[in-house]
Amino acid sequence: MRSVEGRPLDERELVSHAQRGDVRAYEELVRLYSQIAFRTAYLVLGSADDAEDVCQEAFLKAHAALGRFRPEAPFRPWLLQIVANEARNRRRAAGRRLRLLTRATADARLGDAAPSPESVALAAEDRRRLLEAVNELGEDDRLVIGCRFFLELSGEETAAALGCPEGTVKSRLSRALARLRQRLAASV
């Protein structure tokens, strides 16, 4: 993107244009910083696919937050902080899912010092049925159950993530769990 005089715009000018709603200016910022953003996310996550996803989310969040960006500050560190935060959030979420599965497995064998092959197989089957039943639910139900139980977000955090009041989260969760119980009962 070029200025009126025909010279390329510098970072500060691109940010200023993007803050005023110039989509092409923001696209240019994305082009300029996409490689370093990817490298930052990849360093945190170690997965190219996850790093790509995180970069997309980070660029969307940065665009939404442009109005709060201080023009006198450098853009690149601000953007990379968003990328790093998103990557850490992704890594933490993956860790929470792993802990949930580990806890579910441990709960299934309460009291057994060494679980029998039968109990291990039954626990795996129960997990498979649960995940299958959750995946059969509607998107809103999957999201609210996923946020609360798989990501272990609080009611307040779930409300923020879903963009709705906390009371709505509670009612959606109650209805979603009722539908999940029905699906699980029907599959026995």
The CATH number covering residue 156 comes to 1.10.10.10
pLDDT of residue 4: 41
Highest mean pLDDT among 50-54, 113-117, 127-131: 50-54
Highest mean pLDDT among 12-26, 65-79, 80-94, 132-146: 12-26
How confident is the prediction for the chain on average, in pLDDT? 82
Containing structural domain, residue 155: 111-186
Residue with tokens 């049925």: 129
Question: Does 141 reside within a domain?
Answer: yes
Question: Does 105 reside within a domain?
Answer: no
Do 122 and 160 share a structural domain?
yes
Question: Does 166 reside within a domain?
Answer: yes
Question: Does 39 reside within a domain?
Answer: yes
Mean pLDDT value across residues 113-133 = 74
pLDDT at 95 over 80: no
User: What distance in Å separates the CA atoms of residue 75 and residue 155, rounded to the nearest whole number?
Assistant: 33
Instruction: Tell me which of 106 and 77 has the higher pLDDT.
Output: 77
Residues in Cβ contact with 29 at an 8 Å cutoff, skipping those fewer than 6 apart: 11, 14, 15, 18, 75, 79
Do 86 and 153 share a structural domain?
no
Mean pLDDT value across residues 58-68 = 95
pLDDT at 6 over 60: no
Answer positive or negative: Cα dihedral of 89, 91, 95, 97: positive
Q: In the structure, what pLDDT confidence band is assigned to residue 71 with cuts at 50, 70 and 90?
A: confident
